[in-house]
Structure 1
């Protein structure tokens, strides 16, 4: 059986090779001779700070001995969180994720360590070290999967938030994994979690799922609103004014009806959403949100009429989106849908927004829409724009927007958009340049 080397043996060998005394090496590391002697003789374990100093003094790269540190001081030893915690933070700093996985795997057989690992994960999350935090959250969640604890639900929420990215299929799987845990969260945490979940389903065009989540949000938000203005006020406050969650749930439900083509129901909710006289909050933040919801409701009323065929409201809708940069991308997408649906010539509108369209990729996140919804809006707009120009016989412009749309759709794994692009391309293949055909083939192979 091969005996694993030790850091102590490596250090002792180094001292002999370099002809250094303990005192001399101590001066190099900034540690006194007694500490070095205790480490070399094995009478004292070392901290991660001491290990880093020793590693640097030996001229080795940062983290060189971390695997040995795990072998020597963590595996097959009673877990010492005073040693493990700084080690995990240091591993996260150096992005040594495999080392973090080894530590978690070594100590998570005992549920007693879950609270501390969860605390460390929260600390890493606060530092923006998402990949490292994810490993700890997953470790705690796996250890507590039969506990039905609130901590398990929070872990699943954190995992869900960290995993949401560009790949829409992965986003869907992450949402499905998290959804059973959302109601185990504290009521205040649930409010924002339900919004996050609904936004993912909305970006995936899973309208029925988005509607069910929105209904849960409405029920919970109304209950919390009643408690807030009764004698049972809670100490914890949500991230946004409490009325926001009621108003936003209505907006989500109305949005689902709109996307499903149920314009009468969508219009009814849009009119209801304009009435915010019931809102009790009067602080500056609440008034800001109240004003925004009223603006959005007016825009939704106009848009719903437009989609139902009332094209006379188009100038009013253009005015509404022109004054709100955050609504410009979805607004332009909606205009192109209407143009293609009702065979309208909107060249003058496209000229009006020529600069904005040329910089459409620079869209930033908005207050109620996450990156996934922006990606969804972007590929939607580009596909409608491509369709508009191709139908008009402007093949060079149309193909350019189509390939742009297909590239982004491939990156985010939006199968619906990719298939639409393929159908449009094949429809006008005879008018496509050889160069564009090569780019198209490359995108198809990439997908």
Structure 2
């Protein structure tokens, strides 16, 4: 037996003596088969798994990661590499923060390019366990070491990194889009639709309208191709991606002020019963698009100044009882009130409880942006009503949100809005503004 194996065995046997356990007692405490435990300790046959080592450490009162530096030799020898042991080991190292052990493994195995698959498999295990941040390092190693630019493993690693890095930081989100974009068509077919959707969603939050339209168009086309292909299994039913493609194209037209053209897309995705084949999940998506279609038609009524629809729209938003729909609806209502000069105080009072919860959106790029846009238009609304203290308060909140999200174009608008109304700010509000901007510098 190798010295390091004796060292691993010696450490375990030393703890057994310290605690007064024999093999049978230790097996009962850990749930390890007594024969397997005895063979492992005597170096006769199979080695310990990483879960068994964890179980031993727990019984001995050791911190997670105990003896991990010695376990490497259980996975790697000069003659062979044990994938069944190495992948779970790397996963556990990431989970307990033993980065030193990860470094040691990577330096040992990457002399052989084929071994990068081990790193990828560990990354996938972490990703699917919900340990996305822990998986990021492994995907980066794959990206650095795979030289075939058309490798599906490389494309998948870029896709996962794109997903992992999405947050409320606009600069990082755009960098992630640029990095992933060349690989979107090199993914396994089952991932292509969701990749397009995520790219469109990211660019929508960044107001990159040309890119949104491009990805949305690809999504519509590909969803029609995949709808009858039983061998391709996207994350969601193809009708979802078809509808989202239409929704994003309609949203771009809305942002350009092309409301009548936008309505055509809204009416299209609000009526997707014809899409075949539809299973239960697809039918549920069709019903959801009906709801979104109705809400977005109300939005266009607001944006064209139809004051008579305000209360009806508010009733509809209340019936949905979804925070993300409410913030989107209130943006349209308040923005319209600013443009056409009508009063919506009663609507804002009605949804005051929901508005107080908009801070919950601080982890999602689209919803964070909606929160920011609502606060900006609400600030203007307060100034228009000559409620200056409230207007300044909303503006300061906008500035803080812009800085947190690194949305510098929006920040310029908010700073300009504050400067325009600075004379109405209290001494405390001015100090708050100066401290925020000083921190930003």
TM-score (norm 2): 0.83
| TM-superposed deviation, 1:144 | 1.8
Greater alpha carbon shift after TM alignment, 161-170 vs 99-108: 99-108
In 2, distance between residues paired with 1:102 and 1:238? Answer: 37
| TM-superposed deviation, 1:11 | 8.1
In 1, distance between residues paired with 2:334 and 2:77? Answer: 61
Q: How does 1:31-430 map to 2 (within 5 A)?
A: 36=41, 48=50, 61-67=63-69, 69-70=71-72, 79-225=81-227, 228=228, 233-326=229-322, 327-362=325-360, 371-430=364-423
| TM-superposed deviation, 1:15 | 8.6
Structure 2 CA distance for partners of 1:56 and 1:217, relative to 1, 3 Å: closer
* Superimposed CA distance per residue, residues 283-332 of structure 1 (whole angstroms, 9 cap, x where no aligned partner): 44333322222232233233224323444443443333232233111000
In 1, distance between residues paired with 2:318 and 2:67? Answer: 59
Greater alpha carbon shift after TM alignment, 210-219 vs 432-441: 432-441
In 2, distance between residues paired with 1:168 and 1:382? Answer: 18
In 2, distance between residues paired with 1:121 and 1:286? Answer: 31
Mind listing any 5+ residue stretches in structure 2 that lack a counterpart?
28-33
Root-mean-square deviation (CA), in Å?
3.5
In 2, distance between residues paired with 1:202 and 1:100? Answer: 37
In 1, distance between residues paired with 2:164 and 2:390? Answer: 38
* Superimposed CA distance per residue, residues 213-248 of structure 1 (whole angstroms, 9 cap, x where no aligned partner): 1011111112223xx1xxxx4233333332222222
In 1, distance between residues paired with 2:75 and 2:287? Answer: 59
* Superimposed CA distance per residue, residues 396-425 of structure 1 (whole angstroms, 9 cap, x where no aligned partner): 222222222333332222223322221222
Structure 2 CA distance for partners of 1:407 and 1:101, relative to 1, 3 Å: farther
In 2, distance between residues paired with 1:172 and 1:435? Answer: 36
CA contact 1:175–1:197 (8 Å) conserved in 2 = yes
Structure 2 CA distance for partners of 1:27 and 1:330, relative to 1, 3 Å: same
CA contact 1:168–1:204 (8 Å) conserved in 2 = yes
CA contact 2:156–2:187 (8 Å) conserved in 1 = yes
Structure 2 CA distance for partners of 1:74 and 1:165, relative to 1, 3 Å: farther
In 2, distance between residues paired with 1:151 and 1:63? Answer: 29
In 1, distance between residues paired with 2:272 and 2:64? Answer: 58
Greater alpha carbon shift after TM alignment, 175-184 vs 136-145: 136-145
TM-score (norm 1): 0.82
